[in-house]
Chain A
Amino acid sequence: MVKTTFLLVDDDADDTALFEEVLEQVDPSIGFRVATNGQEALEMLRSDSEALPDIIFLDLNMPRMDGRQCLAELQQDDRLKQIPVIMYTTSSQPRDITQALQNGALCYITKPANLRDLEEIISVIAGNAHSGLTEALKRLSTSVPACIVS
């Protein structure tokens, strides 16, 4: 079985630590990489040293290059646009949500304040990373309000 890898693009160290901790609990076999802004993520993905991640979790507000621009750059890159992007951010502004979903994000998740929600989100995504992710996210969105699909 191929090793699954998640890339989290987020400048918030607390959130990154929590995410990693929960991911560790859910499935320790999943690889975890972090970029602290859009620029760093693109550089990381464009250098061929490592295999591409299976899913990108993308924050919106970051220094240097924010999630909006990063999402747009990813969609313009024929190789990188294959990777599913899940927005993972504090903002719950309707404009941010519609914009991200229109611009190619698979799902929009408002960072939950509840670890149980985060556990559920990560385990659903981890369990369906290779097939049926869209359907799994749709089901998830009915039980976790923080998760929105188009």
Chain B
Amino acid sequence: MILIVDDKQENLYSLKALLRLNLYEVDTAASGEEALKRILKNEYELIILDVQMPGMDGYEVAETITGYSRSKDIPIIFLSAVNIDKRFITKGYTSGGVDYVTKPFDPDILLLKVKTFTRLYRQTKELNDIRETLEQKVEERTRELVQANRELEISNGELQQYAFIASHDLQEPLRKIITFSRLVMERFIENIPDAYQYMNKVIMSAERMRNLINDLLSYSRLSDTPRFNSCNLNLVLQETMADLEVVVKEKEAVLHISELPMIEAIPDQMRQLFQNLISNALKFSRKDTAPMIKIWAELTDEPSFEGTTAPTGLYCRIYIADNGIGFDEMYLEKIFQMFQRLHGKGEYDGTGIGLTIVKKIIQQHNGLITAGSREGEGATFIMLLPVKQSVIVQTEPLG
């Protein structure tokens, strides 16, 4: 709707007729005061304002209109027969008008101006509406994200709580099952072969479950914030081999370990990584052949599993190769997934978490892991790790 403000009825009448004829809705006010009242009540797309009026003149009305937040964007066209001097026109613009038309005016040109300004007003209004909706939506989404984040933090805390429950409340009864089964076995049924066998199965199952719980716990602990230290992998590997001494002897395994470089790592996690990979190499050995395990490393500038070596490279490739039963490479993805096993429990025991832990450790160290193998022909695990963790900050993280 368009508002015409003029103190002369005849002016109001002729302008109103012209606009109505061109299908505009029109409202009129005979004074500045009346105009302001109407503006507060109604929505206008354009105001055509006479300059010289008794009481409030056009400039004062325009200044007031642009002062209200509700009406400040409504375009105002001044219309004057008397004040046609440059300084009046200038004052019209500074008081808030978008145009200043002097009488006598050409109706066609006035109509074109009306059309242009009303369209501009509508478009601006639409844009403002869209912007407001967008801002609201952004605000809403932000609120939702903050909320989701808070919920995640809570559920993370709950998960850690779960890890504690797993460590204590699940292990407690299990330990007792093992303790008392052993007690019964040793004290009461040593001479009853069947009962002794069955009780032994109870203990084996309980121990398997205990290993499972311990592995899950180790996995859940990996999500703590990592702290990297300069780490001598040779020492870490020595400690691991000391832990595995009994199995190595039992299996008559032969190990060839080359000098490994210093890298920035979490020593405890690296120990667990070696422990899991070497245990696997020992476990998945061929029945008729003593296990042979080779461990070596090289430095490279290329963040890939292949490519030339460089003595001062930014990345370190570690190889762990065995002569065991190997696996079909079509299962390469699968072997790193939790609880995925390629063999029945009767053939090789295990929890199906070992390699998942290895992969998680490698990820914590911003590295990559893969393996190459053929069934019956051994397997080689290759890990790519940054020598310094700060390298990763500067370049793209791997993987």
Contact = CB atoms under 8 A, between A and B. Distances in A.
A92 B178 contact: no
Contacts of A91: 167-168
Interface in B50-89: none
Contacts of B176: 14
B8 interface: no
B182 interface: yes
Contact of B167 (A12, A18, A92, A114): A92
Interface in B163-212: 164, 167-168, 171-172, 174-176, 178-180, 182-183, 186, 210
A90 B168 contact: yes
A96 to B, nearest CB: 9
Interface string B135-174: 0000000000000000000000000000010011001101
A90 B171 CA distance: 7
Contact of B182 (A92, A94, A113): A113
Nearest to B187: A115
A93 B210 CA distance: 14
B186 to A, nearest CB: 8
A141 interface: no
B114 to A, nearest CB: 77
A75 interface: no
B183 A115 contact: yes
A36 to B, nearest CB: 16
A115 B182 CA distance: 8
Contacts of B180: 14
Interface string A59-94: 001000000000000000000000000000011111
Contact of A111 (B167, B175, B186, B210): B175
Nearest to B171: A90
User: Taking each of B172, B174, B182, which has the highest tally of chain A beta carbons within 10 Å of its own beta carbon?
Assistant: B172
Interface residues of A, number: 14
A12 B178 CA distance: 16
B178 A113 contact: yes
A92 B214 CA distance: 9
State the main secondary structure of chain B at its contact with A: helix
B179 A90 contact: no
A102 B179 CA distance: 30
B204 to A, nearest CB: 13
Nearest to A93: B167
A91 B213 CA distance: 12
A12 B176 CA distance: 11
A91 to B, nearest CB: 5
Contacts of A14: 176, 180
Contacts of A114: 178-179, 182
A111 B180 CA distance: 13
A115 B179 contact: yes
A135 B178 CA distance: 30
A65 B185 CA distance: 36
Contacts of A115: 179, 182-183, 186
A18 B179 contact: yes
B182 A90 contact: no
Interface in A6-64: 12, 14, 18, 61
A109 B164 CA distance: 18
Given A91-B167, A93-B167, A113 B172 contact: no
B241 to A, nearest CB: 16
A108 to B, nearest CB: 14
A113 B179 contact: yes
Nearest to B221: A94
User: Taking each of A14, A90, A94, A112, which has the highest tally of chain B beta carbons within 10 Å of its own beta carbon?
Assistant: A90
A113 B175 contact: yes
B176 to A, nearest CB: 6
A12 B179 CA distance: 14
Contacts of B179: 18, 112-115
A44 B221 CA distance: 38
A112 B179 CA distance: 8
Contacts of B214: 92
Contacts of B186: 115
Interface in A103-118: 111-115
A143 to B, nearest CB: 13
Contact of A90 (B172, B178, B183, B221): B172
12 contacts: A14-B180, A90-B168, A90-B172, A92-B167, A93-B164, A111-B175, A113-B179, A113-B182, A113-B210, A114-B178, A115-B179, A115-B183
Given A112-B179, A113-B210, A115-B182, 4 more contacts: A18-B179, A92-B167, A114-B178, A114-B182
Enumerate the 8 nearest inter-chain pairs by beta-carbon distance, A residue then B residue, closest first. A113-B178, A113-B175, A90-B172, A113-B179, A91-B168, A93-B167, A90-B168, A90-B171
